């Protein structure tokens, strides 16, 4: 595994766990219908975070693309959780926003590496 992915992998794994905990806790709340979107986004976010973590762990050339998608979904989930007053939603929102930031950073950093590799490969040889 590439070590420069580690902080993003950690953020993705922490976010996935927070989302799973949030979804489970939301299901135990009395106003469950009001939390339907939160629960659905928690599930989506958890899954994309696990996928992004796996792509980065194996050094996939598509990790940057998955990280960019992960950032968008984490941002949506975090924004939804921010609207609720439950402690599990607040904790989930923090994890989601942190993961979105890490994934955006990773997506742009990895994209820069792809560009520099492409430019190097396209450079004329003398």
Structure-token pair, residue 29: 């709340």
pLDDT band of 108, cuts 50, 70, 90:
confident
Q: What is the pLDDT of residues 43-84, one digit of tens each?
A: 999 999 999 999 999 999 999 999 999 999 999 999 999 999
Cα–Cα dist 84/81, whole Å: 6
Q: Which of 67, 97, 69 is closest to 82 using CA atoms?
A: 97
Residue range 93-97: mean pLDDT, rounded: 98
9-33 per-position pLDDT tens digit: 999 999 999 999 999 999 999 999 9
Q: What angle do CA 8, 24, 74 make, to 5 degrees?
A: 30
Tell me: pLDDT of 116 over 50: no
Distance CA 4, CA 119 (A): 21
- What does the pLDDT read at residue 124? 53
pLDDT class of 120 with cuts at 50, 70, 90 = very low
pLDDT band at 103 (very low <50, low <70, confident <90, very high): very high
SS3 state at 75: helix
CB neighbour class for 120 (10 Å; exposed up to 12, middle 13-18, buried from 19): exposed
- Could you say which of 3.30.465.10, 1.10.287.3610, 1.20.1270.360, 3.40.50.1820 is the CATH number of the domain covering 3-118? 1.20.1270.360
Q: Is pLDDT at 107 greater than 90 in this prediction?
A: no
Spatial neighbors of 104 by CB under 8 A, at least 6 apart, are 67, 68, 71
Return the structure tokens found at 30: 């009395």
Cα distance between residue 116 and residue 120, in whole Å: 6
pLDDT at 113: 56
The better pLDDT of the pair 124, 18 is held by 18
CB atoms within 10 A of CB 46: 23
């Amino acid at each position: 595994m590439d070590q420069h992915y580690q902080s993003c992998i950690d953020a993705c794994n922490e976010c996935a766990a927070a989302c799973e905990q949030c979804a489970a806790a939301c299901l135990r709340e009395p106003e469950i219908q009001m939390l339907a979107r939160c629960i659905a986004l928690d599930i989506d976010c958890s899954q994309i975070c696990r996928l992004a973590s796996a792509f980065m762990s194996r050094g996939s050339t598509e990790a940057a693309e998955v990280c960019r998608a992960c950032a968008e979904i984490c941002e949506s989930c975090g924004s939804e959780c921010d609207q609720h007053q439950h402690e599990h939603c607040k904790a989930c929102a923090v994890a989601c926003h942190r993961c979105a930031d890490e994934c955006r950073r990773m997506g742009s950093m990895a994209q820069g590496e792809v560009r520099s590799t492409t430019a190097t490969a396209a450079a004329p040889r003398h």
